[in-house]
């Protein structure tokens, strides 16, 4: 492992992330929850592959935002996989049980592959769908506080056409916002000097310009990360729903209303 980490390449990083995802998919779709040793071992290997990909992600791109999104999402998938394999112990045979209760989704993918007929393709589609369905929408264990499509009517689900128009508008608005914050002047060498790292110990020296600059830089950095993830999420949603591979119900808003995030517990769902 140390050799791989000390010689980072894009292939090692992306290959490790991909191996982690496919290992989780194979274990989830083709093992049962009572196979006590297989799932914990697979979960440990998923974490190891993700760690290797994380440590070598610097070779993938010079853009810190891209690396941040790649690494963050890969760790989210690793912990999500661990939850499915070892904590909730999801398994394929529960698909038919949930279908009798009318709660099982057609998955993020729509088609006969998720019909529960026990075929290789059916198991594969189900496993991939469960990994991508992070909010467990239309399953027996949906995530709490998933934002509805309409705050006035929580049961409202938009039509495919309305959904696509709305999400394309969100993507265009997000791209425009990213272009606007990209126009802000680059910091000078003086702005990044080591003397300005400290803040509270030199409050009497801080100017109004520096205070505004710090506040704006912080807000634009955080909002930039959020907007970039919003764009990625909605692009995937538009492609899958537009091609008829998924349903609008599977793609609620990436972020809920900030006016409802009145506590840390509600913020995280």
The span from the CA of 78 to the CA of 48, in Å, is 10
Region of residue 116 (left: phi > 0; alpha: psi -120 to 50; beta: else): left
Query: Which pTM was predicted?
Result: 0.71
Report the pLDDT averaged over residues 69-77: 89
Rounded CA separation 228/261 (Å): 21
Q: Is 119 helix (H, G, I), strand (E, B) or coil?
A: coil
Is residue 7 very low, low, confident or very high in pLDDT (cuts 50, 70, 90)? confident
pLDDT band at 260 (very low <50, low <70, confident <90, very high): low
Coarse DSSP helix, strand, coil percentages of the chain, rounded to the nearest 5 percent: 65, 0, 35
> What region, left, alpha or beta, does residue 53 occupy, with left being phi > 0 and alpha being psi -120 to 50 degrees?
alpha
**Whole-angstrom Cα distance, residue 50 to residue 15?**
10
pLDDT tens for 103-127 read 545 455 444 344 556 778 888 888 8
Half-sphere exposure of 52 (CA within 13 A, CB side): 23
Phi, then psi, of 206 in degrees rounded to 5: -75, 125
Q: Which residues contact 154 (CB under 8 A, 6 or more apart)?
A: 148
pLDDT, residue 46, reads 96
CB 108 within 8 A of CB 129: yes
Structural contact between residues 115 and 137, judged by C-beta atoms closer than 8 angstroms = no
């Amino acid at each position: 492992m140390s050799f791989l980490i000390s010689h980072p390449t894009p292939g090692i990083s992306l290959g490790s992330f991909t191996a982690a995802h496919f290992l989780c998919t194979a274990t989830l779709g083709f093992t049962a929850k009572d196979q006590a040793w297989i799932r914990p071992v697979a979960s440990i290997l998923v974490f190891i592959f993700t760690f290797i990909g994380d440590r070598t992600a610097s070779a993938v791109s010079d853009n810190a935002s891209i690396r941040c999104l790649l690494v963050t999402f890969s760790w989210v998938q690793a912990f999500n996989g661990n939850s499915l394999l070892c904590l909730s112990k999801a398994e394929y045979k529960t698909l038919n049980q949930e279908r009798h209760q009318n709660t099982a989704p057609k998955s993020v993918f729509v088609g006969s592959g998720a019909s529960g007929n026990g075929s290789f393709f059916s198991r594969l589609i189900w496993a991939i769908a469960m990994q991508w369905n992070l909010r467990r929408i239309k399953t027996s264990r949906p995530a709490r506080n998933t934002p509805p499509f309409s705050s006035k009517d929580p049961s409202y689900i938009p039509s495919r056409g309305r959904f696509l128009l709305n999400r394309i508008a969100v993507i265009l608005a997000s791209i425009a916002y990213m272009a606007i914050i990209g126009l802000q002047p680059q910091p000078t060498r003086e702005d990044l000097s080591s003397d300005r790292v400290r803040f509270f110990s030199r409050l009497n020296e801080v100017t109004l310009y520096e205070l505004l600059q710090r506040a704006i830089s912080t807000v634009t950095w955080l909002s930039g990360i959020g907007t970039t993830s919003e764009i990625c999420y909605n692009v995937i949603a538009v492609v899958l729903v537009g091609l008829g591979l998924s349903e609008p119900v599977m793609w609620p808003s990436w972020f809920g209303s900030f006016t409802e995030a009145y506590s840390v517990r509600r913020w995280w769902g």
